[in-house]
Amino acid sequence: MIGKPNYLIEAWSLTEHGLDIDALARSESLFVLSNGHVGLRGNLDEGDPHGLPGTYLNSVHELRPLPYAEAGYGYPESGQTVINVTNGKIIRLLVDDEPFDVRYGDLLTHTRSIDFREGVLSREADWVSPAGQRIRIRSRRMVSFTQRSVAAIYYEIEPVDDSARVVIQSELVANEQLPMRRGDPRAAAVLESPLVSERHRARGSMVELVHCTRHSDIRVAAAMDHIFDGPRSLGVSSESEPDAGRVTATAVLAAGETLRMVKFLAYGWSEQRSLPALRDQAVAALVAARQTGWSGLVDEQREYLGEFWRCADVEVDGDAEVQQAVRFALFHVLQAGARAERRAIPAKGLTGPGYDGHAFWDTESYVLPVLTYTAPAAAADALRWRHSILPMARERAQLLNLDGAAFPWRTIHGEECSGYWPAGTAAYHVNADIADAVIRYVWVTEDTDFEVEVGLEILIETARLWRSIGHHDLSGKFRIDGVTGPDEYSALADNNVYTNLMAQRNLIGAADAVQRHPERARALGVDAETAANWRDAADDMYIPYDAHLEVHPQSDGFTHHQVWDFDSTRPEQYPLLLHFPYFDLYRKQVVKQADLVLAMQRRSDAFTAEQKVRNFAYYEALTVRDSSLSACCQAVMAAECGHLSLAHDYLREAAFMDLKDIEHNTGDGLHVASLAGSWIALVEGFGGLRDTGRLLSFAPRLPEGLTRLSFGLRVRSRHLRVEVVASSATYTVLEGEGMTLVHHGQEVRIPPGQPCTLDVPPAPELPRPQQPPGREPLRFLHQVNGTEVRRAETRRAENARASAGDRPE
């Protein structure tokens, strides 16, 4: 069973048959369990072997210096790195003094599976020890959505042929030794022994450990307790030391007899609370979990996920792999934010240390659109975290001689952590992305209290920022110069179209919110005159256009740059940032990821249909997708422009980013934004969803490979279900009042509970646009009615996705 595992294509689960010792890090990421507060990588129960151990608490980090060859004004002085906290997953097993280790003896069968409706990771192993003793091991692991500090493990051992003396060692371990990781700029900085012991205690079947980080002064408490069910010979003892605690159970089992253990884990952390208070918090959570019991926790988990899937489920007929992938994606997006509760949603969620555990603009631009329509409370909490770091964002703006608030490009705690300022500090669009998420959330939920208490202040401070960054030129146009847009192969550009259009929405959204809440706005120092000034800047916003080529340049002068020599670029030289100097990239027409194309997606109202088609074709020929953020955006605009087969290819690339390890770095953690992108590609792409605040608009069309698409939205106090087939779309308001929406440009009233079916017009016939040589979307074998067929004769070379390059830092 040691070898390449087989992952089955199943509608509601991910199952691995077999075990690949050399690819453990990847499977550990795929089988992560998290609730947004606690994250457990899918390491084997026995701890060894492992690819990358990982137990994470949202926002628990350590500080590290940011070295510079030459210091400069405004450079961040320290970085923040997510740390591996106390590991409670470890359950070591000895059978007649032989440790259970899959590398020794014979592993007859090994299966791991996670059902997205249950949220429990199941494992079964049939193992023969080197001495010939055959044992069956079954375990189930969960991180609770309903009791956010709690995780639990059900563990069962059964001798098959002969009696056996078994010893279970259930452990809590701090400061685990982590493997050194080199050669990937996205891999987390490895911090050795970041936790300092403050307390350890063992009694009965319970152990408590309390630690504090060395530099960031964050206190972490972890506790475990156990319930055993076995023969009368069962003996249990416990012990603790500064960095470890252990509960040991020993029994002699006859063939066919079973020893069962339930292990309850509880975590707590704080920057402010005292040691006794934090210890008591963890112990209280442990007591509550034990009272609920394993079965009760599983029932709560299933009920929580049932309510989520009732509205959020996306059904895809015709492509079984995409069906599995989008549910896998939604499950992990929910895990990333469900119980984050006023903490960041990192780019990797709590699945691994990639990107140092930082949150970027990915959260607001990719993850929150999904959560806003499917789990709006989680979206609101992510934005409340942004609101909580406003004081630091104001300080950052003041340091940069700007008004308002300048949110960090990358952070855990709230301070800017980007040591590469052309792609960090200069990427001011993150502020408009946050404002856009606020505006969208208010549009979708009509949550007035949130707007008054949280959203308004964010919109005001970001509008102030744009007013101070930009200026009116001699012609009266409002310009935003010297910024970096989403395409990090073009830095410090003037009038990046994406940035300008998103800033325009920010300014208008802030002015509208001030008008709705004048008293609260006055308390924040904003009057009608200030709001009118923001509207003037928005009305005068300069959007470059190349009349000769009849396309929008990504920024001023971009279409006059020399085009990158794609024909002479070898496949192994991608991603370009690892093989060419930025000086070369910044002055050429080459696009790392969707930028102008993303502008057309986010600000669809700012472009005509003809402009979208021309722009899309132009930028397809320049975009190399050296970022996992790009494929889903290109899928959306390909679908809108009528390139449905191409959109399907991009959908699959986004959906399989981690399931097929396209970037060869899934071992560092999942690409949460790309996972969210599979929903975006389906719902905004083939569903044609656009939301401008007044009415929802849909322009659904399916590619040849899909026969049916169905998805649900929580919107304006309603549960709307949309079902699309080749020739028609059906809209049903399952809960709430009727609503008016737009279908392919036509306003339609949808009564409550009454399906409304409308014709879908055919897509225009357009030539398929060309990508740079060798950078066509990846094409995979996929299944139709259980039979694998090839969708295309060619695919990019496998090494075209080198093992790094998603972030310039």
**124: part of which helix (H) or strand (E)?**
strand 120-128
- 491: CB partners within 8 A, 6+ apart: 422, 423, 426, 484, 582, 586
Q: Could you give the CA distance from residue 349 to residue 309 in angstroms, rounded to a whole number?
A: 20
Give tens-digit pLDDT for 509-525: 999 999 999 999 999 99
Q: Could you give the CA distance from residue 738 to residue 523 in angstroms, rounded to a whole number?
A: 37
CA distances from 577 to 621, 629, 646 (A): 18, 16, 26
- Calculate the CA 356 to chain-centre distance: 14
pLDDT value, residue 807: 63
Alpha helices in 559-662 (DSSP H): 582-586, 596-602, 609-620, 631-641, 644-655
Q: Could you give the CA distance from residue 627 to residue 614 in angstroms, rounded to a whole number?
A: 23
692's tokens: 């401008």
Nearest to 702 by CA among 721, 720, 688: 688
On whether the CB atoms of residues 399 and 373 are closer than 8 A, the answer is no
Catalytic positions, written as ranges: 488
- 302: CB partners within 8 A, 6+ apart: 117, 118, 119
- 68: CB partners within 8 A, 6+ apart: 75, 419
End-to-end CA distance of the chain: 39
Max CA distance (Å), the chain: 90
Q: Cis link prior to 408 (omega < 30° from 0)?
A: no
pLDDT value, residue 14: 98
Nearest to 192 by CA among 200, 183, 180: 180
Q: Is 361 annotated as a binding residue?
A: yes
pTM, to two decimals: 0.95
In the chain, the percentage of residues whose pLDDT exceeds 90 is: 90
Nearest to 603 by CA among 521, 669, 691: 691
Q: Is 362 annotated as a binding residue?
A: yes
Q: Could you give the CA distance from residue 410 to residue 420 in angstroms, rounded to a whole number?
A: 11
Other beta carbons less than 10 A from residue 398's beta carbon: 13
pLDDT value, residue 192: 80
Q: Which residues of the chain have pLDDT under 70?
A: 1-3, 180-190, 780-809
Q: Could you give the CA distance from residue 393 to residue 381 in angstroms, rounded to a whole number?
A: 18
Burial 513-543 (b: 16+ CB within 10 A, else e): bbeebeebbeeeebeeebbeebebbbebbbb
- 427: CB partners within 8 A, 6+ apart: 361, 409, 483, 484, 485, 488
pLDDT value, residue 254: 96
CA distances from 19 to 23, 215, 228, 573, 717 (A): 8, 38, 29, 32, 46
Q: Three-state SS for 134?
A: strand
DSSP per residue, 642-675: T-HHHHHHHHHHHHTTTTTTTTS-GGG---HHHH
On whether the CB atoms of residues 259 and 168 are closer than 8 A, the answer is yes
On whether the CB atoms of residues 701 and 639 are closer than 8 A, the answer is yes
pLDDT value, residue 720: 98
The DSSP secondary-structure symbol of 81 reads E
- Domain borders along the chain are 6-310, 313-724+765-800
**Bridge pairing between strands 718-725 and 708-715:** antiparallel
On whether the CB atoms of residues 365 and 436 are closer than 8 A, the answer is yes
Q: Could you give the CA distance from residue 248 to residue 166 in angstroms, rounded to a whole number?
A: 10
The dotted CATH code for 313-724+765-800 is 1.50.10.10
Q: Could you give the CA distance from residue 408 to residue 74 in angstroms, rounded to a whole number?
A: 12
Place of tokens 């044992």: 135
pLDDT value, residue 783: 44
DSSP per residue, 510-528: HHHHHHH-HHHHHHTT--H
Mean pLDDT of the chain: 94
**362: part of which helix (H) or strand (E)?**
helix 362-362
Q: Is 593 annotated as a binding residue?
A: yes
Q: Could you give the CA distance from residue 244 to residue 175 in angstroms, rounded to a whole number?
A: 9
DSSP per residue, 258-297: -EEEEEEEEEEEESSS-HHHHHHHHHHHHHHHHHHHHHHH
**Bridge pairing between strands 756-759 and 728-735:** antiparallel
CA distances from 374 to 269, 371, 735 (A): 29, 5, 14
Q: Which residues pair with 261 in a beta bridge?
A: 155, 228
Range 6-310: architecture per CATH: Distorted Sandwich (2.70)
Place of tokens 């919107």: 715
Q: Cis link prior to 581 (omega < 30° from 0)?
A: no
CA atoms within 13 A on the CB side of 144: 26
HEC string for 756-797: EEEECCCCCCCCCCCCCCCCCCCCCEEEECCEEEECCCCCCC
**228: part of which helix (H) or strand (E)?**
strand 219-229
Other beta carbons less than 10 A from residue 178's beta carbon: 17
Nearest to 375 by CA among 405, 341, 351, 400: 341
